[in-house]
Structure 1
Amino acid sequence: MSTILVTGATGNVGSQVVRELRSRDAPTRAFVRDPEKAGVVLGADVDLAVGDFADATSIRRALDGVETVFLTSGDGPQKVEHETAVIDAAAAAGVSRIVKLTTVGARAGSPLPPFDWHGRIEEHLARSGVPAVILRSNFYMSNLLLSAEPIRHEERLFAPAGRGQIGMIDPRDVAVAAAVLLTTPGHEGNEYVVTGPAAISYQEVADDLTAATGRPVTYVDVPPEAARAALVASGMPDWLVQHLHAIFGVIREDGLAVTTGTVRELTGREPRRFADFARDHAAAFGAVAPAPAEGDPAQAVDR
């Protein structure tokens, strides 16, 4: 099997893709900027291509001997420039397939900056001539980890989400789907939308966190303008304030309630529920340690 290059390899999904490919014994190369961080996140024995999206030479070097690319990068104003640079270098290198990670709702001209960036990259990929697969993901369950601190300290989940429902997905399931698309033939030219098994509200998220942590987590529906003001006051970049304000507006109107059976169709198993994700990350949300059982040595006291 030829080498697969994973860009954004220490990121939320990219790191999981590296792990999944390696579990399948697929030759994998991770494009990373910080090898020390990569060692911590990915392990010491991963084939690293150290470079930067802004360094064309390092991209060309990373693509040497590569047939397939998993394309993702962090959000930010340079996202289009970064990912189109990889696409152009891949086209010049004769890469046979790019699997592009994008998002539900992406389109060029979207008022949500990351959706616009993804849409513009998709258009560039279509023009490049490189055989491509579009992997379109719904909202990540891992976004809830950004709320871990107030949940730990206040037992409250703050969000301007109303009663909107979201077909949110565990990044691990995105990675398993990606691994299938990267290692099996016949997907070029297709688009796959991956979601969790059901659309759930933030109230249901709070209920699942309560069950997982053993603490009463209360959902607080923050008025949208108050949430926006808090984001501005935090010093968050303007583009991110704009995006978060808009995405929660979409959520309030059930714009991310879409669910599909794609994960099951590609992988042969059901995607994880948020309850599963909450249990797996219960410690991050401040889970209460279970009381020792009667007769447990932990109850012993020196006398």
Structure 2
Amino acid sequence: MTKPSSPDTSPELYDRTAHDYDAVLVVSFGGPEGPDDVMPFLENVLRGLKLPPPAIKGIARRYEAFGGVSPINAQTREFIAALEKELDANGIDLPVYWGNRNWHPFLPDTLETMREDGIERAIAYVTSTFSSYSGCRRYREDLYAATHDLDNAPVIDKLRYGYNHPGFITAVTERVRDAFAEIPAERQDPATLVFTAHSLPNSMAEKAPYEAQIREAAALVCEALGREKWELAYQSNNASYGEPWLEPRIEDVLAERAQQGVTDIVVVPIGFVCDHMEVVLDLDVDAQKIA
């Protein structure tokens, strides 16, 4: 495994040609916030995909088991509040806007509001930190479509994906340290550390540096922790697509470690900036049953 650059020395971490901006735009996936939202939300997410109706209903039932509420919108609001506080503390007077791909507030509506507010140029942060079609290019397409369809739309510049940015690495490292602190000291060193990310169809993963970026981020976190051993697993594999997906699956890794008698496992969903329903279902429900 190639050792990645230290997060505070990589020459690619900072854009030193940034423009002046008059707003920040947070772009996210979006999620339902009640039972009546679930099916319309899933219709947005699955538009263009040939998923059989029984599979869609099965997904909907899993959402409904949690009251039809995904945690992603609430966490995005918390992130925006923290961002506004940080901007204010540093004397940066920029309004923060929020637009989603799949649920309210929708990105086109937000851009229209920005135009009405007189915003001319904004910097966009997408809550997806690794490069793939769904996690990066699709958001660029969404931003292009939303601005292209709006007369006098503000110019939007998208921040690069931040998988190896020191701020991201530091935040994940702190969370992992907190998790290990819950394990008795004498059992921390032999504990298994598993990073997880959303799986992708192999055909899609081959066209993007997605897996390499996840491995680099995980290696940087472990370098900061002083741990040499770690594993990578994937969640949210979808057999309905009819082709192989990235493996190993987190369920298989946990089952194998349980058979080996491993008593302590720290699972880190490094592929996600915000929790959403798939993280809750895959890790807090399904993986917890196996563990």
TM-score (norm 1): 0.36
Higher RCO (C-alpha 8 Å, min separation 6): 2
TM-score (norm 2): 0.38
